[in-house]
């Protein structure tokens, strides 16, 4: 439960910090974060070659989603955050969960979903009637 609360707080803090610094390109900032969170797993799993290979592949996937989210369309980045949140939950079925910190899945997935929802709301804001203006 603490990991989830810390993930929520870290996500909201990230949003607050980059909202205050209005001159920064939010698309680039959130793309860099998405690329970095994929590579955290590489750092945690370097001691196990099979886990390392799996995590290098997932890190490259999220790096590419970040790149295309910055260069082409932010939908790639939004999808990347939600997919990374799902990756956090399914990692125990794909890799060795003992290689990552305890409760990291809850912390990271919560963080990913908070940022993903924020980017989704930025992309598709609701008007006062609760209707998506871009639909």
pLDDT in tens, 51-64: 999 999 999 999 99
Q: Could you give the CA distance from residue 42 to residue 133 in angstroms, rounded to a whole number?
A: 40
So what's the pLDDT on residue 74?
A: 92
The share of the chain scoring above pLDDT 90, in percent, equals 59
Q: Could you give the CA distance from residue 58 to residue 47 in angstroms, rounded to a whole number?
A: 17
pTM check: above 0.75: yes
**Closest of 84, 131, 85, 80 to residue 109, by C-alpha:** 85
Q: Could you give the CA distance from residue 25 to residue 20 in angstroms, rounded to a whole number?
A: 12
Q: For residue 129, what pLDDT band results from cuts at 50, 70 and 90?
A: low
Q: Could you give the CA distance from residue 53 to residue 75 in angstroms, rounded to a whole number?
A: 27
Q: Where are the alpha helices (DSSP H) in 1-135?
A: 2-20, 26-45, 49-71, 74-94, 104-123
């Amino acid at each position: 439960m603490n990991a989830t609360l810390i993930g929520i707080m870290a996500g909201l803090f990230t949003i607050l910090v980059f909202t205050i610094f209005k001159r920064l390109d939010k698309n680039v900032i959130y793309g860099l974060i998405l690329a970095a969170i994929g590579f955290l797993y590489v750092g945690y799993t370097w001691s196990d070659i099979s886990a390392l290979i799996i995590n290098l592949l997932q890190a490259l996937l999220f790096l590419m989603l970040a790149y295309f989210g910055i260069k082409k369309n932010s939908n790639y980045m939004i999808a990347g955050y939600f997919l990374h949140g799902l990756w956090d939950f399914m990692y125990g079925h794909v890799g060795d969960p003992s290689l990552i910190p305890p409760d990291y899945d809850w912390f990271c997935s919560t963080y990913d979903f908070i940022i993903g929802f924020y980017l989704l709301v930025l992309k598709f804001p609701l008007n006062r009637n609760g209707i998506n203006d871009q639909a």
